[in-house]
Amino acid sequence: MEFIISKESLSYGVSLVERIVASRTTLPVTANVLFEAKKGGLKLSANNLEMGIEIALEAKVSKEGSILIPAKTLGGVVSKLPSDDISFKLKDRGIINISYKKSNFNIHGLPPDEFPQLSKVKEVKAFDVDGKTFVEMIEQVVFSASTTEEKHVLNGVFMETGKTPADASTLRMVATDGYRLAKVGAKIDDIASASSVIVPSKTMMEALRIFSQNLSLAKITIGTDQISFKCDNVYLVSRLIQGQFPDYKQVIPKTLETKISIDLASFLQAIERASVIASQSANIVKVELRGKQLHIMASAPDVGSVDEELDVDVKGKEKSLVAFNVRLIADVLKIIDAEKVLLELGDPMSPGLIKPIDSKSSGDFVYVVMPIRTQEISA
Protein backbone atom coordinates (compact mmCIF):
# COMPACT_ATOMS: atom_id res chain seq x y z
CA MET A 1 0.00 0.00 0.00
CA GLU A 2 1.36 3.40 -0.97
CA PHE A 3 -0.34 6.78 -1.38
CA ILE A 4 0.04 10.55 -0.96
CA ILE A 5 -2.64 12.72 0.65
CA SER A 6 -2.87 16.36 1.74
CA LYS A 7 -2.66 17.11 5.47
CA GLU A 8 -5.98 18.99 5.26
CA SER A 9 -7.86 16.05 3.74
CA LEU A 10 -6.23 13.54 6.11
CA SER A 11 -7.07 15.64 9.19
CA TYR A 12 -10.69 15.99 8.08
CA GLY A 13 -11.07 12.23 7.59
CA VAL A 14 -9.29 11.19 10.78
CA SER A 15 -11.21 13.73 12.88
CA LEU A 16 -14.49 12.10 11.80
CA VAL A 17 -13.57 8.43 12.12
CA GLU A 18 -11.57 8.56 15.36
CA ARG A 19 -14.66 9.73 17.27
CA ILE A 20 -16.38 6.45 16.40
CA VAL A 21 -13.53 4.24 17.60
CA ALA A 22 -14.39 2.33 20.75
CA SER A 23 -12.58 3.70 23.81
CA ARG A 24 -13.45 0.63 25.88
CA THR A 25 -14.13 -2.60 24.09
CA THR A 26 -13.96 -6.37 24.48
CA LEU A 27 -12.88 -6.54 20.82
CA PRO A 28 -9.44 -4.86 20.59
CA VAL A 29 -9.51 -4.69 16.79
CA THR A 30 -12.20 -1.98 16.99
CA ALA A 31 -9.64 0.38 18.58
CA ASN A 32 -8.16 0.80 15.10
CA VAL A 33 -8.93 2.74 11.93
CA LEU A 34 -9.04 0.79 8.67
CA PHE A 35 -7.12 2.35 5.76
CA GLU A 36 -8.04 1.03 2.30
CA ALA A 37 -6.12 2.47 -0.65
CA LYS A 38 -7.53 1.84 -4.10
CA LYS A 39 -7.05 3.44 -7.50
CA GLY A 40 -10.08 5.67 -6.88
CA GLY A 41 -8.65 7.09 -3.65
CA LEU A 42 -8.46 6.35 0.07
CA LYS A 43 -11.23 5.05 2.37
CA LEU A 44 -11.09 5.30 6.17
CA SER A 45 -13.40 3.19 8.36
CA ALA A 46 -14.14 2.84 12.06
CA ASN A 47 -16.61 0.54 13.80
CA ASN A 48 -17.46 0.27 17.51
CA LEU A 49 -20.15 -2.40 16.85
CA GLU A 50 -22.94 0.05 17.77
CA MET A 51 -22.03 2.66 15.16
CA GLY A 52 -19.74 2.66 12.14
CA ILE A 53 -18.44 5.17 9.62
CA GLU A 54 -16.74 5.20 6.21
CA ILE A 55 -15.27 8.25 4.53
CA ALA A 56 -13.82 8.48 1.03
CA LEU A 57 -10.89 10.87 0.54
CA GLU A 58 -8.96 12.04 -2.48
CA ALA A 59 -5.46 10.60 -2.58
CA LYS A 60 -2.81 9.71 -5.16
CA VAL A 61 -2.63 5.94 -4.81
CA SER A 62 0.41 4.29 -6.39
CA LYS A 63 -0.06 0.90 -4.73
CA GLU A 64 -3.30 -0.58 -3.48
CA GLY A 65 -3.61 -2.24 -0.08
CA SER A 66 -5.17 -2.06 3.38
CA ILE A 67 -3.98 -1.90 6.98
CA LEU A 68 -5.29 -1.15 10.48
CA ILE A 69 -3.69 1.74 12.36
CA PRO A 70 -4.28 2.27 16.11
CA ALA A 71 -6.67 5.24 16.37
CA LYS A 72 -5.07 6.85 19.42
CA THR A 73 -1.62 6.87 17.83
CA LEU A 74 -3.01 7.93 14.45
CA GLY A 75 -4.90 10.90 15.90
CA GLY A 76 -1.84 12.07 17.81
CA VAL A 77 0.43 11.84 14.78
CA VAL A 78 -1.95 13.51 12.31
CA SER A 79 -2.60 16.46 14.65
CA LYS A 80 1.15 17.23 14.69
CA LEU A 81 1.85 16.86 10.98
CA PRO A 82 2.82 19.97 8.96
CA SER A 83 0.50 21.46 6.34
CA ASP A 84 1.94 19.60 3.38
CA ASP A 85 1.47 16.45 1.32
CA ILE A 86 1.80 13.34 3.50
CA SER A 87 3.12 10.04 2.15
CA PHE A 88 2.01 6.64 3.51
CA LYS A 89 3.89 3.45 2.67
CA LEU A 90 3.28 -0.05 4.02
CA LYS A 91 6.62 -1.77 4.70
CA ASP A 92 7.53 -5.25 5.90
CA ARG A 93 6.03 -6.71 9.11
CA GLY A 94 3.08 -4.29 9.03
CA ILE A 95 5.11 -1.12 9.57
CA ILE A 96 3.48 2.04 8.23
CA ASN A 97 5.90 4.74 7.19
CA ILE A 98 4.39 8.22 7.31
CA SER A 99 6.74 10.73 5.72
CA TYR A 100 6.62 14.49 5.20
CA LYS A 101 9.33 16.89 4.04
CA LYS A 102 12.56 15.27 5.36
CA SER A 103 10.99 13.57 8.40
CA ASN A 104 8.92 10.46 9.06
CA PHE A 105 7.06 8.27 11.54
CA ASN A 106 7.10 4.46 11.59
CA ILE A 107 3.95 2.99 13.17
CA HIS A 108 3.07 -0.64 13.81
CA GLY A 109 -0.10 -1.57 11.94
CA LEU A 110 -2.27 -4.70 12.02
CA PRO A 111 -3.69 -6.94 9.29
CA PRO A 112 -7.30 -5.97 8.43
CA ASP A 113 -8.68 -9.52 8.31
CA GLU A 114 -10.59 -9.44 11.61
CA PHE A 115 -11.91 -5.89 11.34
CA PRO A 116 -15.74 -5.94 11.42
CA GLN A 117 -17.14 -4.69 8.11
CA LEU A 118 -19.81 -2.01 8.18
CA SER A 119 -23.34 -3.24 7.66
CA LYS A 120 -25.42 -2.11 4.73
CA VAL A 121 -28.91 -1.38 6.00
CA LYS A 122 -31.65 -3.60 4.63
CA GLU A 123 -34.02 -0.90 3.46
CA VAL A 124 -37.50 -0.64 4.89
CA LYS A 125 -37.83 3.09 4.23
CA ALA A 126 -35.55 5.67 2.57
CA PHE A 127 -35.82 9.41 1.97
CA ASP A 128 -33.68 12.48 1.35
CA VAL A 129 -33.47 15.64 3.48
CA ASP A 130 -31.78 18.93 2.66
CA GLY A 131 -28.53 19.03 4.63
CA LYS A 132 -29.18 22.44 6.18
CA THR A 133 -32.66 21.43 7.32
CA PHE A 134 -31.34 18.14 8.71
CA VAL A 135 -28.61 19.91 10.73
CA GLU A 136 -31.01 22.51 12.12
CA MET A 137 -33.54 19.86 13.17
CA ILE A 138 -30.94 17.82 15.05
CA GLU A 139 -29.53 20.93 16.76
CA GLN A 140 -32.98 21.83 18.06
CA VAL A 141 -33.68 18.52 19.81
CA VAL A 142 -30.60 16.39 20.54
CA PHE A 143 -29.57 18.41 23.61
CA SER A 144 -32.80 17.34 25.33
CA ALA A 145 -32.07 13.59 25.19
CA SER A 146 -31.26 11.85 28.46
CA THR A 147 -27.63 11.12 29.31
CA THR A 148 -28.40 8.62 32.08
CA GLU A 149 -29.03 4.91 31.62
CA GLU A 150 -32.21 4.79 33.72
CA LYS A 151 -34.54 4.53 30.71
CA HIS A 152 -32.73 3.56 27.53
CA VAL A 153 -35.41 4.80 25.11
CA LEU A 154 -34.75 8.36 26.35
CA ASN A 155 -31.10 8.09 25.27
CA GLY A 156 -32.18 8.64 21.69
CA VAL A 157 -34.00 10.98 19.33
CA PHE A 158 -37.44 9.81 18.23
CA MET A 159 -37.70 10.26 14.46
CA GLU A 160 -41.18 10.04 12.97
CA THR A 161 -42.38 10.37 9.38
CA GLY A 162 -45.79 10.85 7.81
CA LYS A 163 -48.60 13.32 8.34
CA THR A 164 -50.74 13.52 11.46
CA PRO A 165 -54.15 15.20 11.90
CA ALA A 166 -52.73 17.92 14.16
CA ASP A 167 -49.39 18.42 12.39
CA ALA A 168 -48.65 19.43 8.80
CA SER A 169 -45.02 18.31 8.98
CA THR A 170 -43.87 15.05 7.38
CA LEU A 171 -40.65 14.62 9.39
CA ARG A 172 -40.50 15.11 13.14
CA MET A 173 -37.73 14.74 15.70
CA VAL A 174 -38.40 14.58 19.44
CA ALA A 175 -36.09 14.18 22.44
CA THR A 176 -36.79 14.20 26.17
CA ASP A 177 -35.04 13.40 29.43
CA GLY A 178 -38.21 13.43 31.51
CA TYR A 179 -37.69 17.02 32.69
CA ARG A 180 -37.97 18.76 29.31
CA LEU A 181 -39.02 17.85 25.79
CA ALA A 182 -37.95 19.35 22.46
CA LYS A 183 -39.86 18.75 19.23
CA VAL A 184 -39.26 20.02 15.71
CA GLY A 185 -41.15 19.22 12.53
CA ALA A 186 -40.55 20.07 8.88
CA LYS A 187 -42.30 19.46 5.58
CA ILE A 188 -40.11 17.15 3.50
CA ASP A 189 -41.08 16.16 -0.04
CA ASP A 190 -41.71 12.51 -0.89
CA ILE A 191 -42.33 11.43 2.71
CA ALA A 192 -45.90 10.22 2.98
CA SER A 193 -45.96 6.88 4.77
CA ALA A 194 -45.86 6.74 8.56
CA SER A 195 -42.89 5.24 10.41
CA SER A 196 -40.99 5.86 13.62
CA VAL A 197 -37.61 4.86 15.06
CA ILE A 198 -35.41 5.85 18.01
CA VAL A 199 -31.91 6.87 16.95
CA PRO A 200 -29.20 6.95 19.65
CA SER A 201 -28.38 10.54 20.55
CA LYS A 202 -24.65 9.75 20.11
CA THR A 203 -25.39 8.81 16.50
CA MET A 204 -27.35 12.02 15.96
CA MET A 205 -24.46 14.04 17.38
CA GLU A 206 -22.09 12.41 14.89
CA ALA A 207 -24.54 13.02 12.05
CA LEU A 208 -24.72 16.65 13.16
CA ARG A 209 -20.92 17.01 13.02
CA ILE A 210 -20.71 15.34 9.61
CA PHE A 211 -23.47 17.32 7.93
CA SER A 212 -22.45 20.61 9.57
CA GLN A 213 -19.22 20.34 7.58
CA ASN A 214 -20.99 19.23 4.43
CA LEU A 215 -24.50 20.63 3.92
CA SER A 216 -25.20 18.37 0.95
CA LEU A 217 -28.27 16.16 0.69
CA ALA A 218 -28.72 13.72 3.57
CA LYS A 219 -29.76 10.29 2.31
CA ILE A 220 -31.45 8.43 5.17
CA THR A 221 -32.13 4.70 5.04
CA ILE A 222 -34.10 2.99 7.81
CA GLY A 223 -34.05 -0.75 8.41
CA THR A 224 -35.66 -2.96 11.05
CA ASP A 225 -32.83 -2.51 13.55
CA GLN A 226 -30.40 -0.10 11.85
CA ILE A 227 -30.29 3.34 10.24
CA SER A 228 -27.77 4.95 7.90
CA PHE A 229 -27.00 8.52 6.89
CA LYS A 230 -25.07 9.25 3.71
CA CYS A 231 -23.76 12.42 2.12
CA ASP A 232 -21.27 12.92 -0.72
CA ASN A 233 -18.33 11.04 0.75
CA VAL A 234 -19.43 9.87 4.21
CA TYR A 235 -21.51 6.85 5.24
CA LEU A 236 -22.67 6.57 8.88
CA VAL A 237 -24.55 3.50 10.11
CA SER A 238 -25.96 2.80 13.56
CA ARG A 239 -28.10 0.41 15.51
CA LEU A 240 -31.53 1.67 16.52
CA ILE A 241 -32.84 1.74 20.08
CA GLN A 242 -35.60 -0.80 20.53
CA GLY A 243 -38.53 0.07 22.79
CA GLN A 244 -41.55 2.34 23.16
CA PHE A 245 -40.89 6.07 23.13
CA PRO A 246 -43.23 8.15 25.35
CA ASP A 247 -46.27 9.68 23.63
CA TYR A 248 -44.91 13.21 23.17
CA LYS A 249 -48.32 14.49 22.04
CA GLN A 250 -49.64 13.96 25.57
CA VAL A 251 -46.77 15.99 27.07
CA ILE A 252 -47.23 19.16 25.00
CA PRO A 253 -49.91 21.37 26.64
CA LYS A 254 -52.81 22.23 24.35
CA THR A 255 -53.68 25.59 25.93
CA LEU A 256 -51.97 27.76 28.54
CA GLU A 257 -53.48 30.90 30.09
CA THR A 258 -50.55 33.28 29.68
CA LYS A 259 -48.55 34.02 26.54
CA ILE A 260 -45.47 36.24 27.00
CA SER A 261 -43.46 37.66 24.09
CA ILE A 262 -39.83 38.29 25.14
CA ASP A 263 -36.70 39.59 23.44
CA LEU A 264 -34.56 36.45 23.26
CA ALA A 265 -31.16 38.09 23.87
CA SER A 266 -32.44 39.96 26.94
CA PHE A 267 -34.13 36.82 28.28
CA LEU A 268 -30.99 34.71 27.88
CA GLN A 269 -28.78 37.34 29.50
CA ALA A 270 -31.16 37.60 32.46
CA ILE A 271 -31.31 33.81 32.83
CA GLU A 272 -27.51 33.51 32.72
CA ARG A 273 -27.08 36.21 35.37
CA ALA A 274 -29.70 34.54 37.56
CA SER A 275 -27.90 31.22 37.15
CA VAL A 276 -24.93 32.61 39.12
CA ILE A 277 -27.11 32.54 42.24
CA ALA A 278 -29.38 29.66 41.20
CA SER A 279 -26.38 27.34 40.78
CA GLN A 280 -25.85 27.64 44.54
CA SER A 281 -29.41 26.56 45.29
CA ALA A 282 -30.41 23.47 43.24
CA ASN A 283 -30.51 25.54 40.00
CA ILE A 284 -33.96 26.87 40.92
CA VAL A 285 -35.10 30.07 39.24
CA LYS A 286 -38.51 31.65 39.78
CA VAL A 287 -40.28 33.25 36.84
CA GLU A 288 -42.95 35.73 37.94
CA LEU A 289 -45.18 37.84 35.73
CA ARG A 290 -46.45 41.09 37.26
CA GLY A 291 -48.50 42.95 34.67
CA LYS A 292 -46.15 43.80 31.79
CA GLN A 293 -42.98 42.97 33.70
CA LEU A 294 -41.37 39.55 33.90
CA HIS A 295 -39.15 38.91 36.91
CA ILE A 296 -36.39 36.29 36.84
CA MET A 297 -35.46 35.58 40.45
CA ALA A 298 -33.13 33.30 42.36
CA SER A 299 -31.85 33.16 45.93
CA ALA A 300 -29.45 31.03 47.90
CA PRO A 301 -28.84 31.03 51.66
CA ASP A 302 -25.50 32.61 52.63
CA VAL A 303 -24.89 33.59 48.98
CA GLY A 304 -27.42 36.22 47.96
CA SER A 305 -30.29 36.87 45.60
CA VAL A 306 -31.05 38.30 42.17
CA ASP A 307 -34.12 39.86 40.59
CA GLU A 308 -33.97 40.56 36.85
CA GLU A 309 -36.85 42.60 35.43
CA LEU A 310 -37.80 42.48 31.74
CA ASP A 311 -40.43 44.46 29.84
CA VAL A 312 -42.63 42.03 27.91
CA ASP A 313 -45.80 41.83 25.83
CA VAL A 314 -48.53 39.72 27.40
CA LYS A 315 -51.71 38.07 26.19
CA GLY A 316 -54.03 36.51 28.73
CA LYS A 317 -53.61 36.41 32.50
CA GLU A 318 -51.05 38.99 33.66
CA LYS A 319 -50.10 37.29 36.91
CA SER A 320 -48.13 34.05 37.18
CA LEU A 321 -45.39 32.45 39.29
CA VAL A 322 -43.56 29.28 38.25
CA ALA A 323 -40.19 27.79 39.23
CA PHE A 324 -37.92 26.05 36.74
CA ASN A 325 -34.45 24.56 36.52
CA VAL A 326 -32.43 27.51 35.20
CA ARG A 327 -30.16 25.26 33.12
CA LEU A 328 -33.12 23.85 31.18
CA ILE A 329 -34.24 27.35 30.23
CA ALA A 330 -30.73 28.49 29.25
CA ASP A 331 -30.16 25.39 27.11
CA VAL A 332 -33.09 26.10 24.81
CA LEU A 333 -32.54 29.84 24.52
CA LYS A 334 -29.01 29.17 23.25
CA ILE A 335 -30.22 27.06 20.31
CA ILE A 336 -33.19 29.15 19.16
CA ASP A 337 -32.43 31.30 16.12
CA ALA A 338 -34.94 34.14 16.43
CA GLU A 339 -35.14 37.66 17.83
CA LYS A 340 -38.07 36.90 20.11
CA VAL A 341 -39.51 33.88 21.91
CA LEU A 342 -42.98 33.08 23.20
CA LEU A 343 -43.13 31.83 26.80
CA GLU A 344 -46.46 30.22 27.68
CA LEU A 345 -47.36 29.63 31.34
CA GLY A 346 -50.27 28.08 33.18
CA ASP A 347 -50.71 27.38 36.88
CA PRO A 348 -47.60 26.89 39.07
CA MET A 349 -47.58 23.13 38.52
CA SER A 350 -48.15 23.23 34.74
CA PRO A 351 -45.32 22.76 32.23
CA GLY A 352 -43.97 25.87 30.54
CA LEU A 353 -43.85 26.17 26.77
CA ILE A 354 -41.17 28.03 24.79
CA LYS A 355 -41.41 28.69 21.04
CA PRO A 356 -39.48 30.95 18.66
CA ILE A 357 -41.33 33.87 17.09
CA ASP A 358 -40.51 34.14 13.36
CA SER A 359 -37.72 31.58 13.60
CA LYS A 360 -34.86 31.76 11.11
CA SER A 361 -34.33 27.99 11.40
CA SER A 362 -36.09 25.25 9.46
CA GLY A 363 -39.05 23.53 10.99
CA ASP A 364 -41.72 24.16 13.59
CA PHE A 365 -40.11 24.05 17.05
CA VAL A 366 -41.63 23.73 20.51
CA TYR A 367 -39.97 23.15 23.89
CA VAL A 368 -41.71 21.89 27.02
CA VAL A 369 -40.08 22.34 30.44
CA MET A 370 -41.45 20.85 33.64
CA PRO A 371 -41.93 23.10 36.70
CA ILE A 372 -40.24 22.64 40.07
CA ARG A 373 -42.36 22.48 43.21
CA THR A 374 -41.06 24.89 45.87
CA GLN A 375 -42.41 25.63 49.34
CA GLU A 376 -43.38 29.21 48.36
CA ILE A 377 -45.15 28.19 45.15
CA SER A 378 -46.88 25.15 46.71
CA ALA A 379 -48.25 27.41 49.38
User: Given a cut of 60, is residue 43 above it in pLDDT?
Assistant: yes
Q: Which residues of 289-314 are buried (b: 16+ CB within 10 A; e: fewer)?
A: beeeebbbbbbbeeeeebebebebeb
Residue 164: per-residue pLDDT: 80
At 269-298, the pLDDT tens digits run 999 999 999 999 999 999 999 999 999 999
Q: Which of 221, 250, 279 is the last residue of a domain?
A: 250
Between CA 247 and CA 230 the distance in angstroms is 29
What is the number of structural domains in the chain? 3
Between CA 155 and CA 175 the distance in angstroms is 8
Residue 379: per-residue pLDDT: 45
Between CA 267 and CA 332 the distance in angstroms is 11
Q: Which of 215, 250, 285 is the last residue of a domain?
A: 250
Which residues have CB under 8 Å from 291's CB, separation 6+? 314, 318, 319
User: Given a cut of 90, is residue 236 above it in pLDDT?
Assistant: yes
Confidence class for position 24, pLDDT limits 50, 70, 90: confident
- SS3 at position 283: coil
Q: Based on the domain organization, do 206 and 301 belong to the same domain?
A: no
Residue 119: per-residue pLDDT: 86
**CATH value at residue 306:** 3.10.150.10
Query: Out of 69-83, 168-182, 352-366, which region has the weakest mean confidence (pLDDT)?
Result: 352-366
- The boundaries of the domain holding residue 84 are 2-108
Confidence class for position 175, pLDDT limits 50, 70, 90: very high
Q: Based on the domain organization, do 261 and 369 belong to the same domain?
A: yes
DSSP H or E run through 73 = helix 71-80
Q: Does a structural domain hold residue 118?
A: no
Q: Based on the domain organization, do 93 and 189 belong to the same domain?
A: no
Q: Based on the domain organization, do 131 and 243 belong to the same domain?
A: yes
Q: Based on the domain organization, do 242 and 264 belong to the same domain?
A: no
User: Given a cut of 50, is residue 116 above it in pLDDT?
Assistant: yes
pTM of this structure: 0.92
Q: Based on the domain organization, do 133 and 235 belong to the same domain?
A: yes
